Amino acid sequence: MTPDLSRLRVRERRSYLARTIREAVRPARLLLVVKTALAVGLAWTIAPHMPGVTDEYPYYAPLGALVSMYPTLMGSMRSSLQTLFGLATGIGLAAVIVLTVGPTWWTIPLVVGLGVLVSGTGWFGVGKEYVPMAALFVLIIGGQNADDYSVGYLAQMGVGVVIGLVVNLLFAPAPLIGSAEARVEQFRRQLAGHLHDIGSAVSESWPPETAQWADDAAALAETTADLRAALAEADESVRYNPRARRRHAGTAHIHEQLSTLDRIAHLIRDIADATADTIWERPAGMPLDPALP
């Protein structure tokens, strides 16, 4: 490995590490950290005071609070309902075994396998892992008290979910529109940089001495896909968010900007591909006037 290539890889690793650290300490992320800690603490405080047999299983309330915390209100509500649906389904599968043949060496793996099969239907979203997990817990941990355990498990998870949703609503996260808009603007600058790099590569020497511009252009499709995902999350962050209603937030203009930049990115990729085909004499290469660069 040449010294220049080694230094380039070191810089790339440092840049990646810096980006991941910045992502972890964003204000929106830090707010989620505080809300999650608060919801879990409240759930653990309230859980032992639940009526009936549910107070025997207080440790599931913090888990419910944890699974309900998402960066957006819509994501929190959706994940909470999906988790409870998955739990109820798993408990139902286990109840069939408890009321018939009982937990044995062959019924436990059978119901777990059935839970994994059912969870693959796509009905449960993020709660799909809880279908076989709930069935397994009821049969193994619940044992002879499977009915009490099932009630306590589901009820305490529900308590934690409700606490998490209330905390998330009281401290509503800021809409992610500003972050998405900043990333789209960064993408605009990135495209301008790609055009500049291609121009420099073909004008400074012919054939160009470097090929980094071709690799950078090829990565534009992945960047566009990441931006569309970020914009979709920004759209979700507006739904049912009182802070978004106060600001009359909208993302239509960002969608228009991204669509325009996406078309430009396709053209830049075409330019880069056509130039690379000519430079490296690929089958699709076209004769190029030496004066053109």
Please indicate, yes or no, whether residues 83 and 63 belong to a single structural domain of this protein.
Answer: yes
Which of 121, 141, 170 corresponds to the end of one domain?
170
* 3 state SS for 162-210: HHHHHHHHHCCCCCCHHHHHHHHHHHHHHHHHHHHHHHHHHHHCCCCCC
Whole-model pTM: value is 0.68
- What's the pLDDT score for residue 71? 78
Number of domains in the chain: 2
Same domain, 34 and 125: yes
Does 74 lie in the same domain as 162? yes
**How confident is the model at residue 5, as a pLDDT?**
46
Residues 6+ apart with CB under 8 A from 148: 53, 56, 142
106 with 236, same domain: the answer is no
Cα torsion through 254, 33, 161, 133, rounded to 10: 100
40 with 87, same domain? yes
Q: Looking at the domain assignment, is residue 6 inside a domain?
A: no
Report yes or no on 131 lying in a domain.
yes
Regarding whether 161 and 223 lie in a shared domain, the answer is no
Q: Is the pLDDT of residue 243 over 90?
A: no
Model pLDDT for residues 205-225, shown as the tens digit of each residue: 666 666 666 666 667 777 788
Which range among 38-42, 123-127, 142-146, 148-152 has the greatest average pLDDT? 38-42
Q: Does residue 200 share a domain with residue 98?
A: no
In a domain, residue 20? The reply is no
Whether residue 148 is contained in a domain is answered as yes
For the stretch 174-212, pLDDT in tens is: 677 777 788 888 888 888 888 887 777 777 666 666 666
* Contact predicate 130/87, CB 8 Å: yes
Q: What is the pLDDT of residues 76-92, one digit of tens each?
A: 888 899 999 999 999 99
For the chain, percent of residues with pLDDT exceeding 90: 29
C-alpha span between 29 and 70 (Å, rounded)? 10
- The answer to whether 253 and 184 are in contact (CB under 8 A) is no
Give the chain's mean pLDDT.
Answer: 81
**Domain contains 43:** yes
Looking at the fold, whether 42 and 58 belong to one and the same domain comes out as yes
Residue 5 belongs to some domain of the structure? no
Residue 25 has which token pair? 């300490």
Q: Are residues 79 and 134 in the same domain?
A: yes
Cβ neighbours of residue 278 closer than 8 Å, sequence gap 6 or more: 285, 286, 287, 288
Q: Which residue among 137, 153, 170 closes a domain?
A: 170
Q: How far is CA 130 from CA 66, 141, 156, 198, in A?
A: 14, 15, 15, 51
Pair of tokens at residue 53: 């047999």
**106: pLDDT confidence band, cut at 50, 70 and 90?**
very high
Domain edge (last residue) among 154, 170, 186: 170
Q: Are 71 and 156 in the same domain? A: yes
Question: How far apart are the C-alpha atoms of 153 and 76, rounded to whole Å?
Answer: 20
Q: What is the pLDDT of residue 142?
A: 85
Domain that holds residue 226: 175-279
Same domain, 85 and 165: yes
Q: Are residues 181 and 258 in the same domain?
A: yes
Of 82, 73, 139, 142, nearest in space to 112 by CA: 139
* 13 part of a folded domain: no
Query: Is 7 inside a domain boundary?
Result: no
